[in-house]
Amino acid sequence: MTNPTPPSRTTAFIEQVERYAAHNYHPLPVVLSHGEGAWVTDVEGRRYLDCLAGYSALNFGHGHPRLVARAQEQLHRLTLTSRAFHNDQLGPFAEALAGLTRTEMVLPMNTGAEAVETAIKVSRKWGYRVKGVPEDAATVVVMEGNFHGRTTTIVSFSDDKVARDDYGPYTPGFRSVPYGDADALRAAVDDTTVAVLLEPIQGEGGVVIPPEGFLRDVRGICDDAGALMVADEIQSGLGRTGRTFACDHEDVAPDVYVLGKALGGGLYPVSAIAADAAVLGVITPGSHGSTFGGNPLAAAIGHEVVTMLEEGEVQRHAASLGDHLAERLRPLVTDPEADRGLRAVRVRGLWAGLDVVAAGPSGRELCERLMARGVLAKDTHGSTVRLAPPLVATRDDIDLLVDTLEDALAAED
C-alpha cells in the first residue's frame, strides 16, 4: 500500500490555523516566515513583494535596521513598568511626537482601535467639561464608509454589515454623513456636537480621497460649531501619502491626531492621540489608562520612528515613488464595460486603490493572481484592490508591481 503524500508545509500551517484559531480573517493561502525591506519569503522559500505593508504598519519595511537596533537595545534594558511608575523613555517619546504633530501633549496606547476609543472618550469629556454640553447628550459626527476599528463602540457607527451585524445593542451618540459632503456635515452639526471624526483618506474603504477642499471645510465647520476636528491618521499618517500626515495636503491641523500602525515601526503595537493641553487636560489620574500604554519598549521604538520622520527623507521618497506609481497605473484604466483592466485608480503618495471592471476578475481573484506571480496585495469591498508597499520600496519594485498587475489583469486563469 502506498503511503499518502504528506501535506506541504503551507498546507500544514494553514490547516493548523483553521483548526485552532478563530476564523475572523480570510487570508490568501500563503504562509510567510521571513521579511526584509519590501520583500517577504514564505515557508516554501518563495519570495514576494509585499504591497500591503501590514495595512501601513510596515511603512518602514520589514526589519528596518534602525528600528530593530533600537528595539534590541531597549529589550536588554527595560520593557515594562506600567504607568504606576515613571520610565526614562516615555518623556522623550512624548515630547518628540508632540513636536511632530505640532501639539502640546500625547496620550499613548497600544492599538489603533484603542487610540480611536481614547479620542472618543476625550472628545466627550471635553464636551462636558469645556464646551458645556448637557450630561449624556454629546454627539460625534462620523463619515459613511468609515473604518476606525472593530470594538463595540466603533462598530456602532460603522455601515459595514459584516463588522457590525449581531453585535448590538449599539452605543448611541453618533451621526453619520456622506464622506466628502460638506453641506451634509454642516447640517448634522449642532450644539451637542463635541467632535467630527474622520479619516483624511478612507483606507479600508479603498483609498478613497475626499474632494479637494473638504478637509478645510471640516476645519471651518468645526471652528464655527466649537467642536473638535479628530483626524484618524492611523493608516494615512506617518509618511504614507508623501507628507507626514494626510491632513498636510490641505494644510489643515486637526484638534486631535489619532495615530497607530507605523508608529510601532512594524515591530510592536504603539498608538497615541495628540492634542493641545486644552483638550487632553481633561484626562485626570485614573480616568483612562492601559497597562502597556507608554511602556519603555513602545516608547523607544516610537521615538525612533518619529526621529526618522523628522528627517523627512521617508516622506520625500514616498512622494516620488507615488508619482511614478500613479503614472504607471493610469494607462490601465479602461472602459468600465471592458473585460480587462481597471475602471478607476486613486493614488495619494505610495497608496493606491484600484477598482476592477465588472466583467473582469473580482478583487480577491486579482489578489490571488498577483500572489501566484510574486506580489501580495489585499482586496476590499469585493471589487477594489489596495496597494500600499513599504515606503522603503524602490522604483524597480514599483515597476515590477505594475508589470505584474498588467500581466494578472490580462490573464485568463
DSSP 108-125: EESSHHHHHHHHHHHHHH
pLDDT over 70 at 3, yes or no: no
Which of 313, 330, 352 finishes a domain?
Answer: 313
For residue 281, tell me if it sits in a domain.
yes
Share of the chain above pLDDT 70, in %: 98
What pLDDT is stored for residue 326 in this prediction? 98
The last residue of one of the domains, among 258, 292, 313, is 313
The pLDDT mean for the chain works out to 96
Asked whether the predicted pLDDT for residue 30 surpasses 50, the reply is yes
The total of other beta-carbon atoms located within 10 Å of residue 187's CB is 12
Q: Phi/psi of residue 157, each to 5°? A: -115, 25
Across 65-170, where does the E strand assignment appear?
Answer: 105-109, 139-143
Domain ranges, residue 270: 65-313
pLDDT in tens, 100-154: 999 999 999 999 999 999 999 999 999 999 999 999 999 999 999 999 999 999 9
Domain containing residue 343: CATH number: 3.90.1150.10
Tens of pLDDT, residues 285-312: 999 999 999 999 999 999 999 999 999 9
* 47 contacts 77 by C-beta, under 8 angstroms: no
- Global confidence as pTM: 0.96
Place of cell 454589515: 161
Joined grid coordinates for residue 312: 523627512
Q: Do residues 229 and 190 both lie within one domain?
A: yes
Number of Cβ within a 10 Å radius of residue 107: 24
Domain CATH number, residue 170: 3.40.640.10
The percent of residues above 90 in pLDDT, for the chain, comes to 95
52: in domain: no
- Flag whether 5 is in a domain: no
Q: Would you state the pLDDT for residue 1?
A: 45
Based on the fold, state whether residues 307 and 326 are members of the same structural domain: no
Q: Which residues partner with 213 through β-bridges?
A: none
Q: Are residues 259 and 355 in the same domain?
A: no
Burial of 364 (0-12, 13-18, 19+ CB in 10 A): middle
**Are residues 216 and 103 part of one domain?**
yes
Q: What is the pLDDT of residues 223-255, one digit of tens each?
A: 999 999 999 999 999 999 999 999 999 999 999
Among the listed residues 153, 187, 184, the one whose alpha carbon sits nearest the alpha carbon of residue 168: 153
Q: What is the 3-state secondary structure (H, E, C) of the chain?
A: CCCCCCCCHHHHHHHHHHHHCCCCCCCCCCCEEEEEECEEEECCCCEEEECCHHHHCCCCCECCHHHHHHHHHHHCCCCCCCCCCCCCCHHHHHHHHHHHHCCCEEEEECCHHHHHHHHHHHHHHHHHHHHCCCCCCCEEEEECCCCCCCCHHHHCCCCCHHHHCCCCCCCCCEEEECCCCHHHHHHHCCCCEEEEEECCCECCCCCECCCCCHHHHHHHHHHHHCCEEEEECCCCCCCCCCCCCHHHHHCCCCCEEEECHHHHCCCCCCEEEEECHHHHCCCCCCCCCCCCCCCHHHHHHHHHHHHHHHHCHHHHHHHHHHHHHHHHHHHHECCCCCCCCEEEEEECCCCEEEEECCCCCCHHHHHHHHHHCCEECEEECCCEEEECCCCCCCHHHHHHHHHHHHHHHHCCC
Examine residue 58 and state whether it is found in any structural domain, yes or no: no
* Residue 352 domain flag: yes
Residues 344 and 376 placed together within one structural domain of the fold: yes
Number of domains in the chain: 2
What is the rounded average pLDDT of the residues 311-317?
98
Same domain for 120 and 218, yes or no, is yes
Residues 373 and 319 in one domain: yes
Q: Which contiguous run of DSSP H or E holds residue 280?
A: helix 277-280
Assess whether 174 and 97 both reside in one domain.
Answer: yes
Residue 5: pLDDT over 80: no
Give yes or no: residues 235 and 357 share one domain: no
Asked if 101 and 158 touch (Cβ cutoff 8 Å), the reply is: no
Are both 286 and 150 inside the same structural domain?
yes
**67-73 average pLDDT score:** 98
pLDDT in the model for residue 54? 97
Confirm whether 21 is domain-assigned.
no
- Model confidence pLDDT, tens digit, residues 318-335: 999 999 999 999 999 998
Domain boundary among 313, 347, 378: 313
User: Is pLDDT at 23 greater than 60 in this prediction?
Assistant: yes
Q: Is residue 79 part of a domain?
A: yes
Instruction: Compute the average pLDDT of residues 92-100.
Output: 98
**Rounded to an integer, what distance in angstroms lies between the CA atom of residue 167 and that of residue 154?**
11
Active site residue ranges: 147, 232, 261
Q: In whole angstroms, what is the distance from residue 262 CA to residue 71 CA?
A: 14
108 in any annotated domain: yes
Q: For residue range 184-215, what is the model confidence (pLDDT) as tens digits?
A: 999 999 999 999 999 999 999 999 999 999 99
- pLDDT at 336 (0 to 100): 84
* Number of CB atoms found within 10 A of residue 185's CB: 24
Are 210 and 298 part of one and the same domain?
yes
Tens-digit pLDDT profile for residues 162-189: 999 999 999 999 999 999 999 999 999 9
74 and 201 together in one domain? yes
